[in-house]
Structure 1
Amino acid sequence: MQPGVLLLMLCVGVLLLAPDLEANHEKAIISLNSRLLRSTTLPANPSVHIALRLSEHHSFHDELSYLHRLKIDLRRKLSRSRLANEPSTGLTALYVLALRASCQGMSEKQAALSYLKKKLAAEQNHTTHHQVLLSNHYQYSLGVLTLCVNNIRLDHSVLSGLMSHDHHHHNHHHHHSIDTLAMEVLALQCVVGSKVPSRNSWMYSQDRRAKAQKAVNKLMERMRRWQASSGEIGNIYSTSLALQAFIATGDQERWLKGRNHLLKEAKRGAFQNPMALSQLLPVLYQKTYLDIQQMDCRGETGDLKQLQLKPLATARDPEPSSQPEFVYLSVKDKNFVTTYSTRVPLSNQMSLLQVLHEAKSNDTNFKFETVPTLWGPFLVSVNGVTGQDSTRTYWRLISGTDTPLIQGIQDYQPQPGEHILLQLSDY
């Protein structure tokens, strides 16, 4: 445990509780760590690898074979990149961070780094001509952060792309912008602290560092305003990334408050999705993506086991009632006009994705499409209408009249009698 944490606890006067509390936390964190390790049997995800590498407990055998799979996937993706314009800026960045977190040499990273530089240049170029990035500011910031963590000096135009869009953020208090703010803070913080590897001199000029620091201070002021009294920032999933920003800027108190809230939520089973878990774990260990820059992979202990976890306590199955139970599904267009509605019989523990499939097989008038993402399937099209970047629209999922779903369609389990609305919305 870090001395700062202990001091803080002594100050709060919980002298007797502190060790027990921390030991209890430690147990919970290790079991989350083991659960993440268990997800290495799923298709490889660089974010999961980064979290396993930033943790204090390792299973070297699992991490090595996972790294091997990631490298094969990355090579395959890069070899097809000319045709597909994929992988995206953000995904490439995560792969490169995963390689750096395993202390892979330059030869392993070279192709991906060159590709990432090209992606960022293309983003910049697109902004110049169309005033908007090809991807989004979250991916852009993650790309800048990744090059910075790999000690690559970024030129002026790429860095200015980080700070050029302050006006976008003012009114959006939603989780996308919290994730984005956090990623920008990490990227800028990296620039402020970067030194030339062989010499002990700053990588960037005094002026550039001062500008970056000023931007960090402004973004953090906003983030502090957004932290609720529970410790949450935005929602529980964006809180994980926001806490990286608090750790990176040395705000111990707000990090602790957020961490305790997330641990409570994790014990209630909120972090089943491996991507969500991979963003949670580093901040529980008080680590951020900036720590990857200092990793040297020596002296780690490989003591982590894939726990045979009991599934989390689930409610007892209700007695089969004579009435079948339903979920009500409706679709609204941009003008809030209902264009479709139906009811779907609900069997035990169906996910929203299964409900949509059921609706599709029961009714030829209903169709939908998803694309795979690191978070799981993402709903892109309903009844032939596609959410698009060019029109800045997306399919928003709402429960009841106004509760937006923060889980994805594969993770969310509708309740009997619940109304689910698929609403075409602007962002």
Structure 2
Amino acid sequence: MSTVARWLLILCWICGKANANYETACGSVEESEYLALQRNVDVLARQLMTLRDNSGAWKNTPEALTSLILAKPDVLSDVDASVAVLENEATQKPSLGKFAQILLAAKASCSNTTNFGGVNLAKELKRRLNDELMLNGINREPPQGWYGVYLAVGAYCISEKQSPGESIVARVLEKQGLRGSFHESMSADYTAQAMIALTCVMRVSDSSDPALGTIQRSLHLASNSLLTGISVEKDNVWIGNRYSTPQALIALTENEKLDNQKRLCMKILESINNRPAGREPEAALSQVLPVLKGASVLQLMNDERDCPSRDESQEIESIDENIDDPIPNARVVDIQIDLEFIINPNAYLGGDLASENVTRFDVTRVPKGTILHDTMVLASQRELMTFETKDTAWGRSLVEINGRRANSSMKQFWSIGANGKSIPVGIDQFIPSHGEKISFTLTTWS
């Protein structure tokens, strides 16, 4: 072999090694793109750690712990404290979806899932899953909703590396609509979660399983549904909306549906990466971290993965005060807007018109382009308001403000207006303008 040929081989080997170091959910990328992602992983992980209380708990401990183990395990300290929180939660009769998340977190932390706080997690999850889908031997709609069912199917399959059963998988497949989505309408959240569950079932199924072809067709239709739900908003590319995008991107990349659309995949990943780090609530941080690292819960099926350190002395590095500074290559947002919120809860209650004084306050230092939900999160962090939402097929729905809950049995709901007119979209999509007055009114429908 000539000297030139040898050098070419060496250069090709070096090039291949370099590319291998820059792997993302969308495949190999340039070093600058990779570093932009990893810088945000570091910042977001430390931000999530600051939200853990002294007992080792988060608002949703299993989701947060699993996310950190998958994306940034070296930032974790005193893992056993958080595991102890999970063991306690496992005995408190949590919802089916929460119990599924506990199983995933126990698996991620390399805990003994067969005796977790005295509970065999997988066995108990399978029992609860059967009870959720069947009553007195007859199939029924799950009282806690299908999202928890999809979570449970995926968690059981990932933990045990086996299907929860042909009848349960069949029930999941029956919920897929003609357009490929799961749930009553086009819901990226539900569809992505169902895809994660079915992807696991497909991987553990025997090649001769007659249901394998049905599952593969289902995943193909579901992928097309997510791809048709892609939208562009202010140079960002979302799948459904910004909150459903991380899980949806994982579902698509795990099924290799964006392998031939790397440019689109990277645009979606960059959109996720460009979200202001310091303004994300806990749930968003937990969902964003794994996809930026190119990880998913399906990796917990790998028995050779590393377990998180149990070193209690590990300390969290201090978070940079400029946590909201734009990351490299990110779109710079430097225009501030001021919002005035008008909380005006008036509703017809029990035959009497119950009214309260209008509460007004200003929300300052909000970057231009911030959606209404994130602005409300900022206001709550500044102790200007409290609120509660629930996830629906159409996005987040507002159910409570400042302790006043809309009572659906009394036909109450929170209507939202901007400058006296109802907003045309939900709080996940509406972007207030400079000086705009946002009003929240507890009202009734006829």
| TM-score > 0.5, shorter chain as reference | yes
Counterpart in 2 of 1:386? 407
Question: Which of 128, 134, 146 is matched with 2:143 structurally?
Answer: 134
Kindly, what percent of the aligned residue pairs are identical? Answer: 16
Counterpart in 2 of 1:64? 80
1:152-301 alignment, distance < 5 Å:
152-167=162-177, 177-194=187-204, 202=206, 205-229=208-232, 230-250=236-256, 251-252=258-259, 253=262, 254-267=264-277, 269-271=278-280, 273-298=281-306
Structure 2 counterpart of 1:418, one-letter code: I
In the TM superposition, what whole-angstrom CA distance separates every residue of 1:377-402 from its partner, at most 9, and x where no partner exists? 973698675237xx9x8956635222
Paired residues, number: 372
Counterpart in 2 of 1:345? 360
Taking structure 1 as the reference length, the TM-score comes to 0.71
Work out the CA distance in 2 between the residues paired with 1:164 and 1:63: 39
Structure 2 counterpart of 1:298, one-letter code: D
Counterpart in 2 of 1:364? none
Once the 2 structures are TM-superposed, how far is the Cα of residue 206 of structure 1 from its aligned partner? 2.5
Once the 2 structures are TM-superposed, how far is the Cα of residue 215 of structure 1 from its aligned partner? 0.5
Q: Secondary structure at the match of 1:154?
A: coil
Structure 1 counterpart of 2:68, one-letter code: L
Counterpart in 2 of 1:24? 36
Once the 2 structures are TM-superposed, how far is the Cα of residue 256 of structure 1 from its aligned partner? 2.4
Report whether the alignment pairs 1:149 with 2:158. yes
Counterpart in 2 of 1:90? 97
Relative distance call for 1:161 and 1:9 in structure 2 (3 A) is closer
Question: Which of 108, 133, 136 is matched with 2:115 structurally?
Answer: 108
Work out the CA distance in 1 between the residues paired with 2:286 and 2:336: 30
Work out the CA distance in 2 between the residues paired with 1:317 and 1:243: 30
Work out the CA distance in 2 between the residues paired with 1:340 and 1:126: 44
Once the 2 structures are TM-superposed, how far is the Cα of residue 164 of structure 1 from its aligned partner? 1.1
Work out the CA distance in 2 between the residues paired with 1:27 and 1:176: 34
- Stretches of structure 2 that go unaligned for 5 or more consecutive residues are 1-18, 326-333, 365-377
Work out the CA distance in 1 between the residues paired with 2:128 and 2:174: 18
Counterpart in 2 of 1:53? 69
Question: Which of 339, 344, 360 is matched with 1:329 structurally?
Answer: 344
Q: Secondary structure at the match of 2:344?
A: strand
Once the 2 structures are TM-superposed, how far is the Cα of residue 38 of structure 1 from its aligned partner? 1.9
Structure 2 counterpart of 1:210, one-letter code: G
Relative distance call for 1:340 and 1:94 in structure 2 (3 A) is same
More strand by share: 2
Work out the CA distance in 2 between the residues paired with 1:348 and 1:372: 23
Once the 2 structures are TM-superposed, how far is the Cα of residue 220 of structure 1 from its aligned partner? 0.4
Structure 1 counterpart of 2:219, one-letter code: V
- Stretches of structure 1 that go unaligned for 5 or more consecutive residues are 82-86, 196-201, 358-368
Work out the CA distance in 2 between the residues paired with 1:290 and 1:68: 24
Larger relative contact order (C-alpha < 8 A, sep ≥ 6)?
Answer: 2
Does the CA-based 8 Å contact 2:97-2:151 persist in structure 1?
A: yes
1:305-324 alignment, distance < 5 Å:
305-310=316-321, 312=323
Does the CA-based 8 Å contact 1:35-1:306 persist in structure 2?
A: no
Does the CA-based 8 Å contact 2:200-2:298 persist in structure 1?
A: yes
In the TM superposition, what whole-angstrom CA distance separates every residue of 1:399-426 from its partner, at most 9, and x where no partner exists? 522242139xxxx9x977322345779x
Once the 2 structures are TM-superposed, how far is the Cα of residue 104 of structure 1 from its aligned partner? 1.6
Relative distance call for 1:206 and 1:130 in structure 2 (3 A) is closer
Relative distance call for 1:242 and 1:212 in structure 2 (3 A) is same
Structure 2 counterpart of 1:114, one-letter code: K
Instruction: Give RMSD over aligned pairs.
Output: 4.5
Once the 2 structures are TM-superposed, how far is the Cα of residue 174 of structure 1 from its aligned partner? 10
Q: Which moved more, 1:132-141 or 1:347-356?
A: 347-356
Does the CA-based 8 Å contact 2:41-2:72 persist in structure 1?
A: no
Work out the CA distance in 2 between the residues paired with 1:57 and 1:346: 40
